[in-house]
Structure 1
Amino acid sequence: LAAWGGFFSPLSANIYFPALTDLAREYNVSSTLMNLTLTSYMIFQGLAPTIFGDIADMAGRRPAYIIGFIIYIGANIGLALQNSYAALFVLRCVQSTGSSATIALGNGVVADVATSSERGTWMGYVTSGPMIAPAIAPIIGGLLSEFLGWRAIFWFLVIMAGVYMVPLLVVFPETGRNVVGNGRIPPQKFNMSLLSYLKVRKTAKAYGDDELSRAVSRDEQQALARQRKLRIPNPLGTLKVIAQKDAGLLLFYNSVVYTAFYTVISSAPYLFEEIYGFNDLQVGLAFIPFGVGAMIAPMTAGKLMDWNYRRLAKKCGLHIDKKRGDDLKDFPLEKARLYVAIPMLVIGTLVTLCYGWILHVEPSLAAPLVMHFFLGLCLTGAFNCMSVMLVDYYPLSPATATAANNLVRCFMGAGGTALITMMIDAMGRGWCFTFIAGAIAVFSPIILVLIRWGPKWRDERRLKMEAHANGSG
């Protein structure tokens, strides 16, 4: 369900691509103005999780999911009914606000239920939803736009979100450690799924309230109750993550790579229509190789990270405890995660460079589609490695950490999306993507800096947090 929930944010972004040219013609606006609807979506994709991530780490995962999907369904109904560019622009912001927190929430669920030794594979499972979306969303969008009109895209999203809400309300359990501890402590009644509520009620009837109370530690209940005190969500918590040396560098570099990734897919509809004369459906089908590569990447990167973790653990003499987690104080986590990212980044950078010059000479369609596959595979795999590393930095507040990731990368990606068509017009296709590949290469030494000094910075933060906890205790 966490993977399915994370499906909606990239689904809403990518399903929209094949209809961009139709919408530009209907509202009589330029492609640059239509790209601003992508830019605004990404800005709110970065802002919204800073609030929802804090809600999730404070009150639990389920309330954040439910509030987000209520907003999302309302925005899609509005988008299906609107008749102006201004309404489209504003409602895309609201749509992004409702859906964009789901990826951060999914990463939070992984941190709740998985130890460091298994986190790579679990992150692969949860991010499989967001990565499947680029494979199928443009196809769905192309079919709906071509045969039913662009409004059908948003009605489809309303139906999809409504269907998702059923299992979310009925079976999805609360996993937040601040709410349920290690799973032994029942959440508040309003925060229970229907199945969890019926189970607790059945247990209370069978054994009596006293027996149920003794099943959990009173001290743990009281401690978690203090942490569950609701307050106004504080988006500034994400800025504290960005201010850290290791997390800040990782977030910046991840954002550079993400911007390169998004400039490729956001410019593809215009480039393919210009070069090959594609209609909406053909543009959607052209995204299949990119989406397939992106779909394979999370599981591939996840398995490789877990293998590398076990290899380094054996080398360091660390016993892996899958139940209680491992003592990572002296473990080279940066090597376990980022060694896997390096070859993917090298290949992804070279493919980005080649992609621009392939488009420059306008060859057969096969060439750019092959480049799309490798871009989806390598850049998405690198994202996954860096996202797992970020969760490892902040295992107790993973949703907030992931929200910081979304904030930085979406802001930079929004800038790239707004500028890409103007850059292509001014520089030409080849030199434009050469510039983008060069930006990735120039900042790549950040990975080596993190491998070299990251363990020291991580240990300094751990000591500060321990000192703060002891002082407040």
Structure 2
Amino acid sequence: MQAAPRRSEVDAKATASLFTQDKSDEKAPPGNDELYSIFPASTRTHLTYSLGIILILSTLTATIYFPLIPTLSTHFSVSIQAINLTVTVYAICQAISPGIFASLADSYGRRPVLLALVLIYALGSLGLVLNKNSYAALMALRAVQSIGGSSIPSIAYGIVADVAVVSERGKMLGPMLATCNGISAVGPVIGGALALKTGGHKWVFVALLIIAVACFLAVGFTLPETSRVVAGNGSRAVHGIWKTWMDVLRGKKKQKEDRKQRITHEINVPVVKASQSLRRVVDSLRIILHPDAAAILRMIASSYGVYYTFQVAISVIFADVYAYNELQIGLAFLPGLSGMTIGGIIAGRLIDANYAKAAQKHNIDISQTEKLDLTDFPIEYARYRMIVPFIVAQTALVTSYGWAVQQHVHPAVPIILQFFICALSTLLSHTASALLVDVFPDVPSTAYASSQLARCGFSAASAAIIEPLVNAVGRGWFFTIFSLFTGLSCLFCVVVSRWKGIEWRRKRLDAKSRASASHP
């Protein structure tokens, strides 16, 4: 894995002096050679909420689909298990796709890859609109949707790592994820309402196509290139596909003015050889082999698997046990997805608060805006501070949910439990995801892609076995076994990461340094 190339000391000082004059909210600390990022607070705010909206192509695609499972089963004349298989295929593509596209984003920049992904997603959505009665086409086009949408979160995490220092990433991640989850929370209601009103599913896919086109235009016109390989800390002038369409439309006169405000010479986008790009793709798989990463990835997979399993199970439970129609099923998703939104907000605040506590203990000034060396800092302890009670609570709630449904208690009980379960699952998975990006700072998108591989692989297996296991042991015992498995996995991962994480991380970085020295 390659680190972003450093600028010379002269250029770094020139850049800092030029941009601190125009951006009062980005002050360089005394004695610092180069700001971590020159992007102003206004740009970070724009990125936060723009990415939150674009991320719905990943989350909304899943949430809007779940209430349609009974309807799709009837329309395509196949079993519920067959429709669940489309969910499994979607999850498999979620696991594989980010490793490819996130690595390309780390090599060639965020903008071109993000534009390509949104376009792929739009084409998949168009195909679903045109598909009438083919179950095979349904499965294939859902896979295309997944390929396009599922890589977007890894690129979003990469953008956050590009522009925000470690101590401020929660300020971006929390609102970004809350925006995404808040919009996605209404997905099941929209999907259920459209299916109930139209008697089918076509208009659900039409809605997804419209959203994809809007996101494509938003990325093209307004999203700046942030990759540190391409744009450095934001001071390098970019051109071609890396420049926003809005900047292109401003014309040559405006471009000349922009150049005068930047450093006096342009730095060309580095050319990455195909072999290097392929190696980056393989890196997302190789990350899993590092013991410090493996512990974090298992935490991500287990915690996210709780949320995903509930999204698959809810529509069937409320159709079979409580005889809900499509709209009512969609409404039943709302509390859980609202909990996911709130869990994302809380996660963002806890990520920064826990880091601040640990930094204070180790005499680190969190107001610094330069890149920090975390080699000797226990970032694993900082991120996982006070997380064990959340894991225990999630385990108890998932078990309670299973037996509440098994005993056919009033639907208000499982609906309330869904809120807290999804909030806790989201909090745990986002916290672990932030830690993974922290320990692989040079390739944040590739690191997050490896988490997609882990969590979606786990989720695909979970979606595939829900119906057979429920039929075999009942919902009470299924959720009991599932909660114990995921809860104990999360506890094990937290203990291992806090105990051995920093030691494994140092060994990995030492090995990387030796390899770089032997192959300059």
TM-score interval for Structure 1 and Structure 2 normalised by the shorter chain: over 0.9
Structure 2 equivalent of residue 75 of structure 1: 124
Deviates more, 1:114-123 or 1:230-239: 230-239
Is 2:447 the partner of 1:396? no
Distance 1:307 1:200 in 2: 44
- CA shift for structure 1 position 198: 5.2
1:445-467: CA deviations, max 9, x gaps?
22111001101111222222333
| Separation in 1, partners of 2:263, 2:59 | 45
Preserved contact between residue 99 and residue 285 of structure 2 (Cα < 8 Å): no
Conserved 8 A contact 1:115-1:323: yes
Partner of 2:28: none
**Among 167, 172, 178, the residue aligned to 1:122:** 172
Whether 2:241 is the aligned partner of 1:195: answer no
Q: Which amino acid aligns with 2:409?
A: P
Q: What runs of 5+ residues in structure 1 fail to find an aligned partner?
A: none
What SS does the aligned partner of 1:178 have?
coil
Give how far 1:36 is off.
0.2
Cα distance, 1:215 vs structure 2: 2.6
Asked if 1:91 is matched to 2:141, the reply is yes
Using the alignment, how far apart are the partners of 2:334 and 2:62 within structure 1? 15
Residue type of the alignment partner of 1:91: L
Q: CA deviation at 1:325?
A: 3.0
Aligned partner (choices 405, 427, 449) of residue 451 of structure 2: 405
Deviation sequence 1:370-399 (CA, Å, 0-9, x none): 110001111110011000000001111111
Q: Which of 107, 114, 120 is residue 65 of structure 1 equivalent to?
A: 114
**Is 341-350 or 262-271 further displaced after alignment?**
341-350
Residue pair 1:360, 1:428 contacting (<8 A) in 2 also: yes
Mapping of 1:14-53 within 5 angstroms? 14-53=63-102
Give the Cα–Cα distance (whole angstroms) in 2 for the partners of residues 80 and 192 of structure 1. 32
CA contact (8 A) 1:173 1:196 kept: no
Contact 2:394–2:487 (CA under 8 A) maintained in structure 1? no
Number of positions where the alignment pairs a residue of Structure 1 with one of Structure 2? 467
CA-to-partner distance for each residue in 1:243-298, whole Å, 9 max, x for gaps?
A: 11010121123212222321122011111111111010000001111011100111
For structure 1, which segment, 53-62 or 128-137, has the greater mean C-alpha deviation from structure 2 after superposition?
A: 128-137
Counterpart position of 2:353: 307
Displacement after TM superposition at 1:230 (Å): 8.8
What does 1:350-389 correspond to in 2, within 5 Å? Answer: 350-389=396-435
Classify 1:201/1:442 alpha carbon distance in 2 versus 1 (closer, same or farther; 3 Å). Answer: same
Contact 1:341 1:385 in 2 (8 A): no
Greater CA drift, 183-192 or 123-132:
123-132
Query: Please, what TM-score do these two structures have when normalized by structure 1?
Result: 0.94
Distance change (3 Å), C-alpha of 1:255 and 1:214: closer
Question: Following the alignment from structure 2 to structure 1, what is the Cα–Cα distance between the partners of residues 392 and 252?
Answer: 55
8 Å Cα contact 2:67-2:329 kept in structure 1? yes
Say if 1:290 and 1:373, in contact at 8 Å, map to a contact too: yes
- Residue 55 of structure 1: aligned partner: 104
Q: Which amino acid aligns with 1:263?
A: T
For 2:217, which of 166, 170, 186 is the aligned residue? 166
Is 1:102 aligned to residue 152 of structure 2? yes
Match status 1:178 vs 2:224: no
Aligned pair in 2 of structure 1 residues 205, 429: CA closer, same or farther (>3 Å)?
closer
CA RMSD between the two structures: 2.0
Task: Rate the CA distance shift 1:77–1:63 in 2: closer, same or farther, 3 A.
Answer: same
> What is aligned with 1:455?
502
Deviation at 1:143, TM superposition (A): 1.2
Paired with 1:358 and 1:205, the residues of 2 have a C-alpha distance of: 66
2:247–2:255: 8 Å Cα contact kept in structure 1?
Answer: no
| 1:391–1:402 Cα contact (<8 Å) kept | yes
Q: Distance in 2 between matches of 1:31 and 1:204?
A: 56
Q: Which runs of 4+ in 1 moved over 4 A?
A: 211-214, 226-234
Measured against aligned partners, the alpha-carbon deviations of 1:283-330 in whole angstroms (never above 9, x if no partner) come to: 000111101110011121111121111111111111224421333222
Shift, 1:206, TM fit: 4.5
In the alignment, the residues of structure 2 paired with residue 15 and residue 171 of structure 1 have an alpha-carbon distance, to the nearest angstrom, of: 27
Which amino acid in the other structure matches residue 324 of structure 1?
Answer: E
Deviates more, 1:100-109 or 1:300-309: 300-309
Q: Is the 8 A contact 1:2 1:109 kept in 2?
A: no
The whole-number CA distance in structure 2 between the counterparts of 1:4 and 1:88 is: 25
The answer to whether structure 1 residue 146 and structure 2 residue 196 are counterparts is yes
Letter in 2 for 1:352: V
TM-score, normalising length: structure 2:
0.86
User: Which of these residues, 476, 487, 492, is aligned with residue 445 of structure 1?
Assistant: 492
CA contact (8 A) 2:222 2:246 kept: yes
Alpha-carbon separation, structure 2, partners of 1:421 and 1:135: 25
Map 1:162-311 onto structure 2 (within 5 A). 162-197=213-248, 201-202=252-253, 205-206=256-257, 214-216=263-265, 221=267, 225-227=270-272, 233-234=278-279, 235-311=281-357
Which whole-Å CA distance do the structure 1 matches of 2:330 and 2:155 have between them? 28
* Residue pairs, 1:411-422, within 5 angstroms: 411-422=457-468
Match of residue 319, structure 1, among 353, 356, 365: 365
Looking at structure 1, the residues matched to 396 and 426 of structure 2 have their Cα atoms a distance apart, in angstroms, of 15
Distance in 1 between residues matched to 2:273 and 2:163, nearest whole Å: 19
- Distance in 2 (CA, whole Å) between partners of 1:29 and 1:43 is 21
What is the rounded CA distance, in whole Å, between the counterparts of 1:472 and 1:180 in structure 2?
26
Moved more, 80-89 or 174-183: 80-89
- Paired with 1:177 and 1:287, the residues of 2 have a C-alpha distance of 39
1:464 is aligned to 2:507: no
Q: In 2, are the aligned partners of 1:360 and 1:430 still within 8 Å (CA)?
A: yes
Query: Which one-letter code corresponds to 2:165 in the other structure?
Result: T
Asked if the contact 1:144/1:153 (under 8 Å) is kept, the reply is yes
Q: Distance in 2 between matches of 1:345 and 1:231?
A: 40
Query: What residue number does 2:469 align with?
Result: 423
Which stretch of the first structure deviates more once superposed, 131-140 or 462-471?
Answer: 462-471
Distance 2:60 2:104 in 1: 23
Q: In structure 2, what is the Cα distance between the partners aligned to 1:380 and 1:191? A: 33
Single out whichever of 64-73 and 461-470 deviates more from structure 2: 461-470
| Higher mean C-alpha deviation, range 437-446 or range 101-110 | 437-446
Deviation of the 1:231 alpha carbon: 6.2
Q: Which moved more, 1:27-36 or 1:326-335?
A: 326-335
CA contact (8 A) 1:107 1:126 kept: no
Structure 2: where are the runs of 5+ without partners? Answer: 1-49
Aligned residue number for residue 6 of structure 2? none
1:120–1:306 Cα contact (<8 Å) kept: yes
